[in-house]
Chain A
Amino acid sequence: MALLEYKCPACAGKLEFNANAGKVKCPFCDSEFDMAMFEQLDAALDSQVEENLSWQTASTDTWTDSDNAGMAVYSCQSCGAQIVTDETTAASKCPYCDNPIVMMGNLKGDLKPDLIIPFKLDKKAAKAEYTKHLSGKKLLPSVFSNQNHIDEIKGVYVPYWIFDSKAEASMQYDCTTVKSFNVGEWRVTETQHYKAFRSGSLEFENIPVDASKKIEDSLTESLEPFDLSQAVPFQTAYMAGYMADRYDVTAEDDAERVNARVKTSTERTFADSVAGYSSVAVTDSNINLKNGTAKYALLPVWIMNTTWKGNNYIFAMNGQTGKFVGDLPCDESLKKKITWGTAAIAAIATFAVGFLIHLFT
């Protein structure tokens, strides 16, 4: 027979029932608790759910001979990317690493995309955004912007898994309220401890996670959001003039990444409902995903590469919204000058203000 044990919420010591007082008492810190509180706690704990974060892939459609006709698949010998184009699109370099790519087999049997967001912005818009991206940045080495002219900008349909799900969560929090007041010659501080329970549900839709190993997750996540309401069923006709990366990460492999994001947002949303306390700490979190589905989609991205001082810099623009991202190099010697110059002026000003305050107060 299992022996039921309760731990003291104040000191974690083993609690004992005091028959005379009709209360549960901690022999270590002398805290006393009403039985009603434990009944409420038991009831609240009984309705907690176990954590389960699993997904189902909605995509089942595969490329057929008729789909495959007119498509070409290239392989990059350097980074391993597999690039899909229609036969009329000339493809000679990898959009990710700028190395030569070679023609290889066909797509037969591969999973076919469910959705595609067609390119809305053209190469000219991408070049204009690149120029804008370089302007107004004080620490960008001037030689970088003067010497780096990106001639080849490639429109790439990047493979994504688009996740939908309903998250059911059951959360527990330790909370406190703190009151301080004076009683005669004493300063009294009262800390009231609470257990808070929250259960409920939350729905997520259209969370994009890239399905390519060649492109950094951080780069594709920085391009978000995409407006999936503008996505249309996939047709090869949209590929004309563009490349597409062949997916090499399954929805199951991407699930870990999307689960982490869903979990963080679910916890954050539930935590917002625990209000009016001085402190709130999560003690238990169980998140159960229901109806989790993943669709396979191709999303439009303009990609450009440049090499400077031996480092490869990759830039990308959301082909639907025009959001432009890409880290830039830093002029370290200028940074040092600005740091020390600012530090000297701020130190002198602080000293002067401090001295004046001392004199006039």
Chain B
Amino acid sequence: MKKRALTLIMMLLLVAFSTVTVFAATTSTKKVIDNDGLLSSSEAGSLESKLKQLSNGIDMDVAVVTVSEIPDNYSQFGDSAARKYAHDVYEAQGYSEDGGIMLLICKATGDAAFSTMGKGIEVFTDSAQNSIMSAMRSDLSAGNFASAFDKYTDKVNAVYNDYAENNGEKPFRFGLLGGISSAIGALVGAIRSGSLKSQLRSVYKKDEAQQYIKSGSFKLNKKIDIETYKEVHREKIQKQPASTTETSSSGKTHGGTSHKF
């Protein structure tokens, strides 16, 4: 009986693990496109593998694209040129419309712009993008692009985890679930053996005499309830931060922000 139960549980686990890929919404597109040659090949390779792992983990595309210039036809957008260009690059590279974030860097003009789509708009709000930018600004200004992109990767992961925790959507944490399962297992084991052991005990001290109260003998001759004072506590309701959205050249909706470094 126990062997059957174990076999069934193992099969369920296998089925569960084997279905992981079915739910992935990331694309197979390269996550690092270094057109401006800001990274060495080993740095680019290392970043590619990190971003792929992160993309799979959070089920959204996380990408970095570097360009040598912003095309002239985007100059009509003024300060928003880099961001508008980033939206079009995002679509041109085929990143997921269901969810993603892309960082566009143009060293020549000192522009950094984010473009988000789908779930990425909800997760990576304007303030989140500002905090990502703050984390890497000094490295970008100093020309330490590999380090800046590492910080980008870490910060995107942290922002996603915060979002997931606040929205009850947590990434799978093997250790945490293992710990909780062990604790629940130990508790269930202790309750079962405790319950079996309690069958051996039938001798208890009585701390009350409830069954010896004479029926109908309880009489209340004073029942007074007086309001004394009131405490009032006010707490400001936290509003969810929002993302500003706009449309790309193709008319699709994106979130994003523009920055200078």
Contacts and interface: CB of A to CB of B under 8 A. Distances in A.
Interface of A: 9-10, 31, 33, 37, 40-41, 44, 47, 133, 136-140, 166, 170, 175, 182-183, 185-207, 216-219, 221-222, 224-225, 258, 260-262, 264-265, 268-269, 273, 324-330, 335, 338-352, 354-356, 358-359
A258 B233 contact: no
Contact of B200 (A195, A260, A330, A342): A330
A65 B217 CA distance: 42
A140 B207 contact: no
A258 B209 contact: yes
Contact of A359 (B23, B207, B209): B23
Q: Which 10 residue pairs across A and B have the least CB separation, nearest first? A: A347-B185, A343-B189, A203-B217, A346-B188, A199-B222, A351-B181, A200-B220, A203-B214, A261-B209, A350-B181
9 contacts: A137-B200, A188-B233, A189-B232, A197-B222, A204-B212, A224-B206, A225-B211, A335-B196, A346-B184
Chain B at the A interface: mostly helix, strand, loop or mixed? mixed
Contacts of B188: 342-343, 346
B16 A268 contact: no
- B: contact size bracket: 35 or more
B227 A194 contact: yes
B209 A264 contact: yes
B196 to A, nearest CB: 5
A342 B231 contact: no
A204 B184 CA distance: 45
A210 to B, nearest CB: 12
A304 B242 CA distance: 77
B12 A356 contact: yes
B232 A188 contact: yes
Contacts of B220: 198-200, 273
A273 B218 CA distance: 11
Given A197-B224, A202-B213, A345 B229 contact: no
Interface stretch (B1-9, B42-50, B96-104, B244-252): B1-9
A79 B13 CA distance: 62
